[in-house]
Structure 1
Amino acid sequence: MRSLRLLLVFAAAFFAGPAHAGADLSLEAPILKEEVASRRLPPVEKRLPSEPRVINVAELGGQPGKNGGTLRFLMGDARDIRMASLYGYTRLVVFDTKGTLVPDILLSADVQEGRIFTFKLRPGHRWSDGQPFTAEDFRYWWEDVANNERLNPDGPPAQMLVAGEKPTFEVVDETTVRFTWNAPNPSFLPSLAAAQPAQIMMPAHYMKQFHKKYADPNRLASLVAQEHVKDWGALHDRKSRWYRPENPELPTLSPWRPRTTPPAELFVFERNPYFHRVDENGRQLPYIDTMTMSIGSSSLVPAKVGSGAADLAARYIRFEDYTFLKAGEQRNDYSVRLWERGEGSYASLVPNLNVSDPVWRALFRDVRVRRALSVGFDRHTVNQVIFFGLAHEGANTVLPDSPLYDPKLDQAWAKYDPDLANKLLDEAGLNRRDDDGIRLLPDGRRAEITIETAGDSTEESDILELVGYDWQKIGIKLFVRATQRDVLRRRVIGGNVMMSVWPGMDNATPAPDMDPSALAPMDSMQFQWPLWGQYQSTMGREGEKPDMPAVVELITLKNDWSHSTTTEERRRIWSRMLEINAEEVFSIGVVNRVKQPVVVSNRLRNVPIEGVYGFEPGAYFGIYMPDTFWFDDVAKAN
């Protein structure tokens, strides 16, 4: 991936004159023809912005398609309907597959001095209900939501603050807005393109009916009672949720709009007739009319996918399912592709530097112990036994697709060396053993580490069994405790977890202009230093003040990145932060580049043969633009 460009301009191939010049924009999706003929819906040329975003499908490696069909997904939890927002990946700006920021909803984003952001909207762009999308939608969010004491008692969200200060917001004209800070805000644009993006606008015409400032008091009181919520603020929050699309009446700019109100076992999403993208032939996207998500047991998803019950599937499918799914290819008319997972490590062993046990806290803060644990097990055996040798044996760091990749960091303290592990542990003061060969702690207890897991992966259990076998040979006894994910998070923050298993870097294909917060204590959900992260996120009100020199340097570097103005400066900061994390082994990577089975109907076109499956920066399938996927046999896809 190449580094991001903070100054966004129109790509000449996309925006050289009117987007529909020479194209037949009278093409209508067949499912909409009747509505257009009866004038319940305007023709497509009147539904599109005057300058839609043109997606050259052929340049993306696909083929221009045709409209129709229903794309079926299987999910294991009703909360998974948020995948519609992820897969649709419609944002003000988006990352392309090369890691570059490009305008999407926006016509352009101009950045001056790293602190003045001028956003130009597409003239004629409309919400899914046909109402204009304008600067008023930004003003409403900023003045009436972000800065409303009831809706946001702590003020605007963190991405809108620089050194605790708000920006100046301006409505330049109906289709132009500007945010100006006194200092650079390099994380602003990447936050807008994130898988779960910062929200800085909402459909004002719809949301005003739930806002105390605009709504009729009697009607608002009636709605509050009808929805069984505390007050108008709670009502506004409920009605404005878009990331998990539970309100079918909320207008959207995504390719598909929700049509189902929870609770339900089948959620339906229909094409947005006002979606702003077209292909190179002028055909409005998405190609596919309908998307469905069937909710069932997550444990049954692989079996149902293997029986042909989904057209596209990866969620709840693991590498261990590959053989079973492969066996059903011909019988159920699908193919199984192997993408790479986008984490820095499939599973990382994460020592809690803030654990409440004072003896283990001191040991885990000794880099010799962390390094010994890392070189004290054989990653090659893990790879061969569990992943058939198809994974990569390395540390928890960035992948080769990132411009920040360094092979030296990839292998830092990742080679199996039991002699070195024994030497490091002896030097750290763990030089006494009991009759079973288990080392003794300074207070006389056996060196027994309990690793806690979320309990939802047999592969993790198998990995820990192999790690435990090797660790016992260097005098460390390993126990495993499975718990629920939410319980694990609470126990880590409470200091009750010695070590946990968790995926590595969420975004292991970063570019320098992406925020490096994952590499420094910034949040209590970082299991290696939850109290230090809590201290940073609450500006010292809660948690503990970091006192390890390497950790303090990481925080300083992150703050330097937040005030940087050039990509080269950010590259230097990223490189140093990656180096510190690799040398200090704050998390112990096992293997990465693990293959992710992706099941694709043989009738579904334009799904890449190879890809990276990750939450950031690609929103799983989202970065590959599912609005350009299409069925070659529409009759069978309905």
Structure 2
Amino acid sequence: MVTRRVFLGGLVGSTIAPSVLVAQQIAEPEFLKAKLADGSLPPMAERIPAQPRIINLKEMGRVPGTYGGSVRTIIGGVRDIRYMTVYGYSRLVGYDTKLLFQPDILRDFTSENDTVFTFRLREGHKWSDGHPFTAEAFRYWWEDVILNKDLTPGGGALELRPHGSLPRFEVLDELTVRYSWDKPNPVFLSSLAGPLPLVIYGPGHYLKQFHKGFQDKAKLEELMKKSRAKKWADLHIKMALASRPNNPDLPTLDPWQNRTAPPADQFIFERNPFFHRVDENGVQLPYLDRFILNVSSSSIIAAKAGAGESDLQATGIDFNDYTFLKEAEKRFPVKVDLWKMARGSRVTLLPNLNVADETWRVLFRNVHFRRALSLAIDRHEINMVAFYGLGKASADTVLPESPLFRQEYADAYVNFDPDTANKLLDELGLDKRDSDGIRLLPDGRRAEITVETAGESNLDTDVLELVHDHWANVGLALFTRTSQRDVFRNRAMSGSIMMSIWYGLDNGVPTADMSPYGLAPTLDDQLQWPLWGMYYLSAGQEGEAPDLPEAAELVDLLNQWGASAKMEEREVIWHKMLALYTQQVFSIGLINSTLQPILRSAKLRNMPEHALYGFDPTSFLGVYMPDTFWFKEA
């Protein structure tokens, strides 16, 4: 029997009909009045789709808002304008606040055994420049980008070819497209719903001017020279990059569009007049006119936010800034809430199993050594000192908010047990010590572990000072080295990093429908096994194949998950991977369920007071729909 899942969007569950939206004289944003007056912009009824996505705010426990206002926020560099595409969270398919799939840009979609996906667009939907958004956007990206060897030399994203081959792509009509695989592709929907979504469509009407197949050679060379691009493909990629919206001319479907070309110290994102969402009263979203992103040094974002220079700040601040930020409530009209971080662990120690030093590599690959390192740490002290006792001692695993949570995963080798740690270390042949009580390695060197940090948070340094004392009690010396985040990957790949301190699993609140890739060597930025991750990422062309049986088993289980069409099977595989990962202590989680301060203007409405905060799957603020935030004047 063929299972079929149907997901409907648009007007489902709403009392508003499209004809009512057209007939109603909805007030236009003051921000757009000039363009409406000179005729350069059509009225709202002609800008929104025939069946827009209706957001019923009252059902969400929120209040319909009013237009206007600019939100100031602070970013740590030009590249962080990418946060706007994460916050805007305009997706073909997205998550709701319960992390269930729902159509967003799509009017509806169907999935048959996770092998055949049919997407139906909204009639009358337009890009931010007013050009119709139709199946042509998918056709262009498929035929002229993905299948073009200059633009996609690797053969396409892994999410499109999980079993080696690309899907069959069909345009069924002007508003309907279909992707079909011979085997299930359960990662497809989640990759479309993520913070950095899989790209399968683009504004071909704009991008063709940068494409060799459509542009005159002389004109293309002129455009390449202007953009300092050596190849036409480099030019197209640069002008089409939506995840980091550097190009103000690139049409978008996001709620706000960048209007500032880099380099700049301030970036302004303005409302997209053709955005596809409305509230239950037919008022087009977003309510807010602009986001103003001020570039600063990462190290002083908290200070600036606490000095009243931000109306909405989530990135660049940490829990150790909370007291200072809370004091700002007395001086400025701001409010600071605490959201729960959705990562597997707020601070995690990652021994590099691919480290170049052979002696350390052998030790790090021994599960008894990793367990000893974990058991020697007093997590209660870390929680009390660094998190005021508000976090939970835990392995690097899923949180209680995930349906996959089991206490045994959280408890794996997290009890403070220096006696057992000492015993394990002795049994590994590290029973000799120097005059300072530091254990000696088999080659006679002192057991000195250098932990690298990106230096972006004092919290990491504070935690390492505590771990330094814990490990010294069992005869291990800890040293700290600061590296820039940008050089982490290269140093880890070269085997120069012994161990690093970083966040735990990106997704601490998964469902069985979300990929467990984070539990297996799949990416080159996984600091505990970067070479193994690169091997998977490059389909065996680079890096090294995992030669540790347990790591190889995780990859095998991941492949089994990817071949399954049944949620029940995926759930079983998830639990096998969680059990194996935590028992093997491939990452040494310390504290999770920690809190993240979120600073906002006291006038900003519809922001939840309590929520989950993380990159994946909540897209930071994204699933809480900032397009529904609005200013209520005092």
If the TM-score is normalised by the length of the shorter chain, which range does it land in?
over 0.9
Stretch of structure 1 that moved more, 21-30 or 612-621:
21-30
Alignment partner, residue 324 of structure 1:
324
- For 1:618 and 1:474, the matched residues in 2 are separated by 40
- Report SS of the residue matched to 2:322: helix
Distance 1:587 1:48, change over 3 A: same
Alignment partner, residue 547 of structure 2:
547
Distance 1:163 1:132, change over 3 A: same
1:25 touches 1:282 (CA, 8 Å); kept in 2? no
- For 1:492 and 1:268, the matched residues in 2 are separated by 36
User: Does 1:296 pair with 2:296?
Assistant: yes
Alignment partner, residue 14 of structure 1:
12
Distance 1:595 1:563, change over 3 A: same
2:52 touches 2:277 (CA, 8 Å); kept in 1? yes
Alignment partner, residue 343 of structure 1:
343
* Runs (5+) with no aligned partner, structure 2: none
Alignment partner, residue 334 of structure 1:
334
Deviation at 1:534, TM superposition (A): 1.8
Alignment partner, residue 359 of structure 1:
359
- For 1:350 and 1:318, the matched residues in 2 are separated by 21
Deviation at 1:363, TM superposition (A): 1.1
Alpha-carbon displacement from aligned partner over 1:307-335 (angstroms, at most 9, x marks no partner): 21111112111111111111120320111
Alignment partner, residue 169 of structure 1:
169
Alignment partner, residue 76 of structure 2:
76
- Report SS of the residue matched to 2:597: strand
Alpha-carbon displacement from aligned partner over 1:286-306 (angstroms, at most 9, x marks no partner): 001111101122222112111
Matches within 5 A, 1:100-499: 100-499=100-499
Aligned amino acid, residue 323 of structure 1:
T
Alpha-carbon displacement from aligned partner over 1:384-439 (angstroms, at most 9, x marks no partner): 11111111111111111111111111111001011111111122222222222221
- For 1:388 and 1:348, the matched residues in 2 are separated by 18
Alpha-carbon displacement from aligned partner over 1:142-184 (angstroms, at most 9, x marks no partner): 0001111111112222111132111111110000001111111
Deviation at 1:240, TM superposition (A): 0.7
Deviation at 1:11, TM superposition (A): 5.7
- Report SS of the residue matched to 1:305: helix
Matches within 5 A, 1:605-624: 605-624=605-624
Aligned amino acid, residue 628 of structure 1:
T
Deviation at 1:25, TM superposition (A): 5.7
Alpha-carbon displacement from aligned partner over 1:352-389 (angstroms, at most 9, x marks no partner): 11111111111111111111110101001111111111
- Report SS of the residue matched to 2:403: coil
1:20 touches 1:282 (CA, 8 Å); kept in 2? no
Deviation at 1:457, TM superposition (A): 1.7
Deviation at 1:8, TM superposition (A): 4.1
- For 2:543 and 2:87, the matched residues in 1 are separated by 36
Stretch of structure 1 that moved more, 307-316 or 622-631:
307-316
- For 1:6 and 1:478, the matched residues in 2 are separated by 55
1:6 touches 1:189 (CA, 8 Å); kept in 2? no
1:14 touches 1:55 (CA, 8 Å); kept in 2? no
Alpha-carbon displacement from aligned partner over 1:266-304 (angstroms, at most 9, x marks no partner): 111111110000001110000011111011222221121
Alpha-carbon displacement from aligned partner over 1:526-551 (angstroms, at most 9, x marks no partner): 11111211222222222222222211
- For 1:518 and 1:411, the matched residues in 2 are separated by 19
Deviation at 1:20, TM superposition (A): 3.7
2:339 touches 2:598 (CA, 8 Å); kept in 1? yes
2:9 touches 2:106 (CA, 8 Å); kept in 1? no
Aligned amino acid, residue 110 of structure 2:
D
Distance 1:334 1:156, change over 3 A: same
2:9 touches 2:103 (CA, 8 Å); kept in 1? no
- Report SS of the residue matched to 2:480: strand
Deviation at 1:18, TM superposition (A): 6.3
- For 1:21 and 1:407, the matched residues in 2 are separated by 52
Deviation at 1:572, TM superposition (A): 0.7
* Runs (5+) with no aligned partner, structure 1: none
Aligned amino acid, residue 29 of structure 1:
P
- For 1:584 and 1:619, the matched residues in 2 are separated by 29
- For 1:614 and 1:582, the matched residues in 2 are separated by 21
Distance 1:246 1:387, change over 3 A: same
- For 2:203 and 2:534, the matched residues in 1 are separated by 34
- Report SS of the residue matched to 1:9: strand
Stretch of structure 1 that moved more, 36-45 or 266-275:
36-45
- Report SS of the residue matched to 2:294: strand
Deviation at 1:46, TM superposition (A): 1.0
- For 1:482 and 1:218, the matched residues in 2 are separated by 49
Figure out how many residues of one structure are paired with residues of the other and give that number. Answer: 630
Deviation at 1:475, TM superposition (A): 1.1
1:248 touches 1:257 (CA, 8 Å); kept in 2? yes
1:141 touches 1:200 (CA, 8 Å); kept in 2? yes
Aligned amino acid, residue 208 of structure 2:
K
- Report SS of the residue matched to 2:331: helix
- Report SS of the residue matched to 1:326: helix
- For 2:4 and 2:510, the matched residues in 1 are separated by 15
TM-score (norm 1): 0.96
Alignment partner, residue 507 of structure 1:
507
- The percent of aligned pairs where both chains have the same amino acid is 50
Deviation at 1:66, TM superposition (A): 0.5
Distance 1:247 1:6, change over 3 A: farther
TM-score (norm 2): 0.97
Alpha-carbon displacement from aligned partner over 1:33-78 (angstroms, at most 9, x marks no partner): 3432433211111111111000111122210000111111111211
2:10 touches 2:54 (CA, 8 Å); kept in 1? no
Stretch of structure 1 that moved more, 319-328 or 433-442:
433-442
- For 1:457 and 1:506, the matched residues in 2 are separated by 18
- For 1:609 and 1:628, the matched residues in 2 are separated by 15
RMSD of equivalent CA atoms = 1.6
- For 1:332 and 1:611, the matched residues in 2 are separated by 24
1:75 touches 1:298 (CA, 8 Å); kept in 2? yes
- Report SS of the residue matched to 1:7: strand
Deviation at 1:132, TM superposition (A): 0.2
Alignment partner, residue 561 of structure 1:
561
- For 2:147 and 2:13, the matched residues in 1 are separated by 35
- Report SS of the residue matched to 2:7: coil
Deviation at 1:12, TM superposition (A): 9.1
Distance 1:490 1:19, change over 3 A: farther
1:8 touches 1:103 (CA, 8 Å); kept in 2? no
Aligned amino acid, residue 366 of structure 1:
N
Aligned amino acid, residue 327 of structure 1:
E
Aligned amino acid, residue 413 of structure 1:
Y
Aligned amino acid, residue 113 of structure 1:
N
1:19 touches 1:54 (CA, 8 Å); kept in 2? no
Aligned amino acid, residue 487 of structure 1:
V
- Report SS of the residue matched to 2:278: strand
